[in-house]
Amino acid sequence: MEERSFKEVLADRLLLLWLLYDALKYKSLGDTKTQKLGYLSEWSMIDDHEKGFNYDFIKLPYGPYSDQLQEDIVWLEEQTLIESIPIREGKLFHESRFGHKILNDFNCLFSRNSLFTNKIARVNNKYASRNASELVELVHSFPHPYIKGKTINDLKLGQKILYKLTEEKARVKFEITPEELATLDVYLDDESYRSAMEASESARRKPLLKLDEVF
């Protein structure tokens, strides 16, 4: 798994936060649905050579899974940008006051990068209303982004599915100005992010949710 740059991490956190708040307009969600919506959103971007999300995904029993995305979920929770409540072998996300503040304070950034938020919005519109088990089953039936004739279901556990688009191949990139970068550095402290990376390791070793868990 290739390490993300500091700027890529910030872009991922912002876009993931935007994805979660937009998806909550349709139906409740937790880790499993967030992983699948993130995967589908990044796939749609990469297909058009758009560098928005920068996650690497592998196949686990519940379909495409990204350690990096899970780390960012944990980080968003620790920073109270999203809140969660525990349920049977999982959790449900909820909006928070600080999360709304970030989205509002950086409204110009999101407007300037509407190409990416529109992509996420289209994915959420199509898939966010489904429950976790339906979405897992559906994504398993989708083709591999790069290997013709293979579906996600055909892959071996641990096999790489999707990886971040390189700078050289990107037709357009998520844009953060130097001023916004400096402000975000204060808003989104990196020390907490490193602790979130360690906390996420346990999530990778166990199922995120039972397949019959309905969000």
- Report the candidate in 176, 18, 22, 173 with the shortest Cα–Cα distance to residue 109: 176
pLDDT tens per residue across span 140-197: 999 999 999 999 999 999 999 999 999 999 999 999 999 998 888 777 665 544 444 4
pTM for the structure as a whole: 0.86
Model confidence at 211, pLDDT cuts 50, 70, 90, reads very low
Cα distances (angstroms) measured from residue 25 to each of 79, 81, 99, 109: 22, 17, 15, 21
pLDDT (tens digit, 9 = 90+) per residue, 13-69?
999 999 999 999 999 999 999 999 999 999 999 999 999 999 999 999 999 999 999
58 in helix, strand or coil? strand
User: Tokens representing 9?
Assistant: 């991490």
Q: How far apart are CA 6 and CA 181, in angstroms?
A: 10
